[in-house]
Amino acid sequence: MSRGMFVTFEGLDGSGKTTQLRRLAAVLEAEGRRVVTLRQPGGTPLGDRIRAVLLDSKSEAEVGVIAPEAELALMFADRAQSLKQVILPALAEGAVVLCDRYTDSSEAYQGAGRGLGTERVLALHKAVCNDVQPELTVLLLPPLERALKRARRRNDREVKSSGTDEGRFEREGEEFYRRVHEQYEAIARREPKRVVMFAEEASIEAIGQRILEVVRERLRG
Ligand code: TYD
């Protein structure tokens, strides 16, 4: 049985991480590896319901403004469920698990963006997720301005085409995203072995190739 590996993808909304995750999954699957992909919040039936509450702008009309602490707790409820139901069983079977966002997102968005603080997020991670961390985190962090532009365009397109608005997070102001961006940089500095950061402007292909090299290296090691 080949060795399992837990890889997460992180970055601002509109950073291209979902595209890179899918490309990597396709390449590894073509090589005959078992690959499990999921996103957070979501990825389990319970998680999908939590996701709908957290991301749908309309849910604010139903449940009122979600308190930052409640938002954080819901993110971790989702994470605990996907660890137990999807991530840990897949790793035990030797799969490569590719997860679109994980605890770094909570540290960046709730910890820094909402101002709840890193300590609180990491304490919850320990308590709720048994401190399970990915072996590798691919952090796509292009310059802030570019990421913001893409996120806005995408949100407008989605509202027009499907009528649903998952844009609660994307309506946050620039200052919010600046704090998120800075926290991601801080995480990368703090954990250089786990976090591989792509901050430069490069083509999807070039970044994809580099990600593949890093993943292959780690799978060998
Ligand atoms: P999603 O639609 O998955 O977009 P993206 O492609 O940007 O990942 O949206 C997830 C949103 O949820 C995104 O704005 C970040 C936010 N989020 C948090 O604030 N904290 C978290 O712990 C996670 C997992 C996501």
CA 120 vs. chain centroid, Å, equals 19
Residues 6+ apart with CB under 8 A from 32: none
Confirm if 15 and 108 have CB atoms less than 8 A apart: no
How many Å is the maximal CA-CA distance in the chain? 50
> Measured from the CB, is residue 169 less than 6 Å from ligand 1?
yes
CA distances from 28 to 15, 36, 48, 60, 93 (A): 22, 11, 26, 40, 16
Give the residue, by CA position, lying nearest to ligand 1 atom 14. 169
**Three-state SS at 204:** helix
Q: What is the pTM of this model?
A: 0.92
Question: Which one, of 94, 80, 114, lies nearest residue 28 by Cα?
Answer: 94
Q: Determine the atom of ligand 1 nearest the C-alpha atom of 169.
A: 14
Is 164's pLDDT higher than 70? no
Which atom of ligand 1 is found nearest the CA of 13?
7
pLDDT tens digit sequence for 169-185: 666 788 999 999 999 99
Nearest protein CA to atom 23 of ligand 1, as residue: 105
Is residue 156 predicted with pLDDT exceeding 80?
no
**pLDDT at 205 > cutoff 90:** yes
Averaged pLDDT for residues 132-155: 86
- Residue 52: the pLDDT is 94
Scored b (16 or more CB within 10 A) or e, 76-86 reads: bebbbbbbebb
Architecture of domain 5-220: 3-Layer(aba) Sandwich (3.40)
Atom of ligand 1 nearest to the CA of 14: 7
101 lines ligand 1 (CB under 6 A): yes
